[in-house]
Amino acid sequence: MKEAEAGSRADRAADHAELIRFENVTKRFGSNTVLDRLDFSVDAGKHVTLIGPSGSGKTTILRLLMTLTKPDEGTITVGGQRLFPASDKQCREVRKNIGMVFQQFNLFPNMKVLRNITEAPVTVLGLSRDEAEARARELLDMVGLADKCDSYPTQLSGGQQQRVAIARALAMRPQVLLLDEVTSALDPELVAGVLDLLRDIARTTDITMLCVTHEMNFARDISDQVLMFDSGQVIESGSPEKIFGAPEHERTREFLGAIL
Ligand code: ADP
């Protein structure tokens, strides 16, 4: 009995283990210091929204996690493994646990929908094509596009393309899903469907989500924590109730006042 209790406590502790840590991370583009000795961490399974004015460094954080760019200083750790500084091999290993959905979908235009989703699981994870296709069909069913396997991306609406991009990211079974303003390029009538899909994913999976969005109702619904950025630093963080309901920092009040 005692062992069982201890086990369940340990399991709960593991649920809240820190998954992502930025320590003293600085990123410059020329003379522009975009992230300035940034520290923050995200626990496993949590949904964290990054808000703040344009140019405050939010996308850069996602791109660092995706290893699309490297910091100038500091350390980034995912699941206790260094992402930076680290060897290329180590980076690739850690990066397998991270998926990203971009504003502009970024599907492979020359590949049919099914192939867009199976490509990385086959080439990066080493799945057989049959396994990868079975998983891709399940995911396409989940995102409501079971009948679009043989379409090319340009034959789909923006909302459908973004659903494929979400399925493609999930096909890698990532621990972390990065969402970079994923509805900003969509026609207004297509936004709600994509956000509902993401709400479902947030509710039904244990994937850790980092989300840059201007959709504040969505942020309020899915977030465990909201980080407010300004000039490359987190100036305020807390629950959505606190940040949206009773922001402490003048810059947060100004920012939310301008967009809400
Ligand atoms: P946000 O997502 O908060 O709008 P970004 O992370 O996209 O901010 O950009 C932060 C700053 O970094 C901006 O000033 C932007 O112009 C600059 N920046 C981003 N990417 C590059 C790049 N590849 N080259 C030069 N400057 C860049």
Neighbours of 96 (CB within 10 A): 15
Q: What is the pLDDT of residue 16?
A: 60
Q: Which residue has the tokens 């649920």?
A: 15
Q: Helix or strand or coil: residue 175?
A: coil
Nearest CA to ligand 1 atom 18: 29
Mutate to test the pocket of ligand 1, among 31, 58, 60, 230 (most ligand atoms within 8 A of CB): 60
In the predicted structure, residue 182 carries a pLDDT above the cut 60: yes
Model confidence, pTM: 0.93
Ligand 1 binding residues, C-beta < 6 A:
29, 32, 34, 52, 54-60, 212
Over residues 133-153, the pLDDT tens digits come to: 999 999 999 999 999 999 999
Q: What is the pLDDT of residue 8?
A: 43
Q: What is the average per-residue pLDDT within 50-61?
A: 96
Q: How far is the CA of 60 from the centre of ligand 1 (A)?
A: 6
Over residues 98-140, the pLDDT tens digits come to: 999 999 999 999 999 999 999 999 999 999 999 999 999 999 9
Alpha carbon distance, N-terminus to C-terminus of the chain: 52
**Do the beta carbons of residue 48 and residue 223 sit within 8 Å?**
yes
Q: What is the pLDDT of residue 259?
A: 84
Q: What is the average per-residue pLDDT within 167-181?
A: 98
φ/ψ (deg, to 5) at 95: -65, -25
Q: What is the pLDDT of residue 11?
A: 46
Neighbours of 5 (CB within 10 A): 9
Over residues 65-82, the pLDDT tens digits come to: 999 999 999 999 999 999
**Dihedral sign (CA 2, 17, 169, 230):** positive
Strand residue runs (E) in the chain: 18-29, 32-43, 47-51, 73-78, 81-84, 98-101, 176-180, 208-212, 225-230, 233-238
Over residues 151-172, the pLDDT tens digits come to: 999 999 999 999 999 999 999 9
User: d(Cα 113, Cα 139) in Å, to the nearest integer?
Assistant: 11
Nearest CA to ligand 1 atom 21: 29
* Predicted confidence band of residue 21 (pLDDT cuts 50, 70, 90): very high
